[in-house]
Amino acid sequence: TGWFRRLLHKPKPSSSPSASSSPSSSSSSAKSSSPSPSRSLATSSTRLSPVPVPDISASHSPRWAKSYDICICHSEGDLDLVEELVSFLESQPESLRCFLQLRDAAAGSALGTALCEAVQSSHCWLMLITPGFLRDPWCRYQMHQALAEAPMANGRTIPVLKDVDRKEYPRELRNLYYISMALKENSFRQIREAVLRYLQELCRSSTSSME
């Protein structure tokens, strides 16, 4: 029992600084020898150079090869909504140039000629498909002109549906994704992003062809 009592009262060894620092130093050396996945991912991500966004407003931009960035085809009954959309697009930092028939068509010009010229002088064409659009023969005429101008051009024709059922979506456009104008503010932003995306891709293609 005496040896057991002495064992109970034996003082604990005091921890030395070297003893306490050795585990941390060994762990730190282990960490440095084998970097954690998070560190390696961060390191690898910093090595990736971000893809530069083309400056569509630069003086040499192919954007300026046409008079308008977007031509908006709409029925006369949707003029108030279209004017609101045009005001939004033209007030953005990019100052997108919109063709609005009642505002920009030359007085005295033939309607068919004005519509064809609007399509040819614009980069993108927005079709605001409403019940009025579907009833208006001139809206369909302009839609066909746009499709004939560049039938396979990705992103140039932008269908926007408002108050129209999916089954009424024109057959000519069914190979294209459309924007649903359920929430006006969201759809305005989507239209802007679609036009910008096309113009940026146009600039990239132009730069790569020059190289």
Contact between 133 and 127 (Cβ < 8 Å): yes
Distance of CA 91 to CAs 71, 95, 105, 128, 206, Å? 16, 6, 21, 20, 27
Amino acid 21: pLDDT: 45
In 3D, which of 197, 207, 155 has the Cα closest to residue 176? 155
Q: Is the pLDDT of residue 24 over 60?
A: no
Q: Which residues contact residue 100 at a Cβ distance below 8 angstroms, ignoring those fewer than 6 apart?
A: 72, 82, 83, 86
Q: Is the pLDDT of residue 38 over 70?
A: no
DSSP 128-163: EE-HHHHH-HHHHHHHHHHHHH-TT-TTTEEEEESS
Q: Is the pLDDT of residue 30 over 90?
A: no
Q: Is the pLDDT of residue 2 over 60?
A: no
Which CATH code is given to the segment(s) 62-203? 3.40.50.10140
pLDDT digits (tens, 9 = 90+) for 121-147: 999 999 999 999 999 999 999 999 999
Q: What is the pTM of this model?
A: 0.73
pLDDT digits (tens, 9 = 90+) for 177-199: 999 998 999 999 999 999 999 99
